[in-house]
């Protein structure tokens, strides 16, 4: 009789197995009395800490734990299985289709197919119907292993060139066996694991189809990528689809067009944004807010050139670690690079004169426009562009000042994010595989960031291996109104570039010492941050940030002169006011102002014109009575201006 340890929710249980061989995890769970129906039933198993199918064999004396749908990894497992159901349905409907890859992703899954023509909405409906049939059939997922060479020959014989290429790469990497999963009449190359059978994938939705290059290479075939999502229950699926509808309503590309903020034109080039008057004003308001706060906190404003000699980027390490993201040109026979970041110029500002320990910290701030090469397939509105402006700053400080300076940056980020009602999470990203600098430097830099985070008193996660190539970093993930996370602010600790560019300061004992260089942003890319802001507020910006804070609409032309005088009085006090003097119906003009998300509509008819007042309506339709210009300014008060802190 063999004994096994089952880590049940009620505590670890000892299970005796009287059968021969190694039992399946599912059988041990049954013997342990775990639920076989309902939310608590196992989806998969965890054997020796690794995810596995319920059908996996547990070695004698082993310990096994159930994975239920509440497990953090369960949803991805379900979605990967749903991707297999989709591939099975596609192959049934389109026998000539060649399958590529089908992973689970953050919000669902996708699968790439090589087909004769692009998929249509009608095709997605047909595929969905077949997937529903497969789910009803409760087809089991069964796993087997095969010799890699045998599997390669089999997939080649079927014409599955993409699977064959993957196996070829595995063989080159030294793999001799591969795992295959079969569900119904569809067999796929897959590491697994999967849910027990196809019935688990009944709550799914196919969302869209798009083109995708094989392995992301623009020189390889263009495939058809079907995106979908899946949940354990129809209720969870409906909630997610409602979320997607709300996200669609908030899409910054749609709102940007509706509010006339910006545009992107293929004639100009992908990833290059044209700012319209209202959008440009929104940018200016954010820039002024940032400059004010940085000046208040001891930063100096600097500006650097757009291009620098390529040899400098070689010295910094960018040519070795960042070349594919850079643009180059040639002047007078010399190679120049268009800057992808602002740090090099700031080092030259620091190096322009001898620095004493009494000068430190030196905080240099620049709203610097940079260029980065992004593949066309990843460009997306404002959130992924090729030219953007970064609120870049570099702090040069003594090693003893590093912790306090990092904490100052975190305090600045906290205050600035509070101005937009953003909550945020923190991650400490450590040394990546491709990096520069010594182990000691990396340990000191990582330790400084960790100490500052600990003293700041906010929880944080460790993100192993995702630091910048020159130093570890703290990444700030904003949480918007829908709970989505966005990477914007960052703080990076760098001991390496000061060494490479011979940056020094004269210490109290007259010796030369190296400063530490902190790279940091608050908004990050202004383009990306504005895209996030648009979706966070759904275009309903707070009063201080609204490009137009109030619009005065007249009932008849007789009130035009009084309306212009009213607007002039408000503008004199800094309010941003527009006039709608068109010969249109009042209701139409009010409705247009509401659609434009103007915070206040000031209605002026003959009576108001004579009295020098306007009838004030808030954006949501509430009537706030008649006010003269001074009364309106008193009503809105400090909300007209950006927030401030003592």
488 is catalytic: no
Active-site residue identified among 225, 363, 394, 617 = 394
Q: How many CA atoms lie within 13 A of 89 on its CB side?
A: 25
373 is catalytic: no
Rounded to an integer, what distance in angstroms lies between the CA atom of residue 584 and that of residue 107? 46
Rounded to an integer, what distance in angstroms lies between the CA atom of residue 189 and that of residue 105? 18
Mention every residue, 6+ apart, whose C-beta is less than 8 A from residue 369: 306, 387, 388, 389, 390
Name the burial class of residue 512, with classes exposed (0-12), middle (13-18) and buried (19+) by CB atoms within 10 angstroms of its CB: exposed
343 is catalytic: yes
Q: Which residue is associated with the tokens 């182990």?
A: 439
Mention every residue, 6+ apart, whose C-beta is less than 8 A from residue 445: 471, 472, 493, 494, 495, 516
Asked whether 558 and 583 are in contact (CB, 8 A), the reply is no
80 is catalytic: no
Active-site residue identified among 69, 225, 278, 473 = 473
Active-site residue identified among 139, 224, 390, 492 = 390
Active-site residue identified among 46, 69, 250, 372 = 372
Tokens of 505: 């300061």
Rounded to an integer, what distance in angstroms lies between the CA atom of residue 386 and that of residue 555? 46
> Mapping DSSP to helix (H, G, I), strand (E, B) and coil, where does residue 16 land?
strand
Distances (CA, A) of 168 to 175, 189, 292, 327: 9, 12, 58, 34
Active-site residue identified among 112, 123, 392, 580 = 392
Rounded to an integer, what distance in angstroms lies between the CA atom of residue 41 and that of residue 26? 10
355 is catalytic: no
Rounded to an integer, what distance in angstroms lies between the CA atom of residue 354 and that of residue 377? 47
Sign of the four-CA dihedral 334, 335, 339, 341? negative
3-state SS, one letter per residue, for 28-59: HHHHCCCCCCCCCCCCEEEECCEEECCCCECC
Q: Which residue is associated with the tokens 């990528």?
A: 225
Active-site residue identified among 519, 528, 576, 627 = 519
380 is catalytic: no
Helix (H) or strand (E) holding 296: helix 277-296
Rounded to an integer, what distance in angstroms lies between the CA atom of residue 640 and that of residue 643? 9
473 is catalytic: yes
Rounded to an integer, what distance in angstroms lies between the CA atom of residue 459 and that of residue 451? 12
Rounded to an integer, what distance in angstroms lies between the CA atom of residue 263 and that of residue 286? 19
- CB atoms < 10 A from the CB of 543, how many? 18
Active-site residue identified among 56, 183, 190, 343 = 343
Residues involved in catalysis: 343, 372, 390, 392, 394, 473, 519
């Amino acid at each position: 009789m063999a004994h096994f340890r089952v880590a049940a929710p009620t505590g670890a249980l000892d299970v005796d197995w009287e059968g021969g061989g190694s039992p399946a995890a599912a059988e041990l769970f049954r013997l342990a009395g775990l639920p076989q129906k309902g939310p608590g039933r196992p989806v998969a198993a965890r054997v020796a800490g690794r995810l596995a199918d319920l059908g996996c064999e547990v070695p004698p004396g082993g310990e096994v734990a159930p994975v239920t749908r509440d497990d953090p990894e369960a949803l991805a497992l379900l979605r990967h299985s749903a991707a297999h159901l989709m591939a099975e349905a596609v192959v049934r409907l389109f026998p000539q289709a060649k399958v590529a890859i089908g992973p689970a992703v953050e919000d669902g899954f996708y699968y790439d197919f090589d087909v004769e023509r692009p998929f249509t909405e009608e095709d997605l409906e047909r595929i969905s119907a077949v997937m529903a049939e497969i789910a009803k059939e409760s087809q089991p997922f069964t796993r087997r292993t095969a010799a890699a060479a045998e599997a390669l020959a089999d997939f080649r014989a079927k014409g599955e060139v993409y699977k064959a290429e993957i196996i070829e790469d595995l063989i080159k990497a030294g793999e001799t066996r591969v795992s295959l999963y079969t569900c119904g009449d569809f067999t796929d190359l897959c590491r697994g694991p999967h849910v027990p059978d196809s019935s688990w994938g009944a709550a799914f939705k196919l969302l869209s189809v798009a083109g995708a290059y094989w392995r992301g290479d623009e020189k390889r075939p263009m495939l058809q990528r079907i995106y979908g999502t899946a949940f354990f229950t129809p209720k969870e699926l409906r909630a997610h689809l409602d979320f997607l509808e709300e996200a669609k309503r908030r899409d910054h590309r749609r709102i940007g067009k509706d509010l006339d903020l910006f545009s992107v034109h293929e004639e100009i080039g992908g990833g290059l944004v044209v700012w319209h008057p209202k959008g440009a004003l929104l940018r200016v308001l954010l820039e002024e807010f940032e400059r004010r706060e940085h000046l208040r906190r001891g930063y100096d404003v600097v500006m650097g050139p757009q291009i620098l000699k390529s040899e400098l980027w070689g010295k910094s390490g960018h040519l070795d670690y960042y070349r594919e993201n850079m643009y180059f040109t040639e002047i007078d026979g010399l190679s120049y690079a268009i800057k992808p970041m602002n740090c090099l110029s700031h080092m030259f500002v620091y190096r322009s004169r001898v620095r004493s320990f009494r000068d430190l910290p030196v905080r240099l701030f620049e709203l610097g426009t940079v260029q980065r090469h992004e593949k066309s397939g990843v460009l997306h509105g404002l959130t992924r562009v090729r030219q953007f402006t970064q609120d870049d700053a570099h702090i040069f400080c003594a090693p003893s000042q590093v912790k306090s300076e990092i904490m100052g940056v975190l305090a600045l980020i906290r205050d600035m994010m509070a101005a937009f009602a953003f909550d945020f999470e923190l991650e400490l990203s450590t040394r990546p595989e491709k990096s520069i600098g010594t182990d000691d430097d990396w340990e000191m830099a990582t330790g400084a960031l960790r100490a500052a985070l600990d003293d700041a008193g906010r929880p944080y996660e460790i993100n192993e291996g995702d630091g910048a190539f020159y130093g570890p970093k703290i990444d700030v993930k904003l949480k918007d109104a829908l709970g989505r996370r966005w990477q914007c602010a960052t703080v990076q600790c760098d001991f390496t570039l000061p060494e490479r560019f011979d940056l020094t300061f004269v210490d109290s004992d007259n010796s030369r010492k190296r400063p530490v260089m902190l790279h940091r942003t608050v908004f990050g890319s202004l383009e990306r941050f504005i895209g996030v802001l648009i979706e966070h507020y759904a275009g309903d910006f707070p009063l201080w940030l609204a490009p137009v804070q109030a619009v005065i609409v007249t009932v008849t032309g007789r009130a035009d002169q009084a309306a212009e005088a009213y607007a002039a009085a408000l503008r004199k006090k800094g309010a941003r006011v527009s006039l709608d003097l068109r010969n249109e119906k009042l209701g139409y003009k009010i409705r247009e102002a509401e659609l434009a998300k103007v915070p206040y509509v000031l209605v002026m008819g003959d009576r108001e014109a004579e009295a020098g007042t306007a009838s004030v309506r808030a954006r949501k339709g509430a009537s706030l009575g008649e006010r003269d210009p001074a009364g309106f300014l008193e009503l809105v008060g400090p909300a007209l201006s950006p927030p401030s802190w003592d």
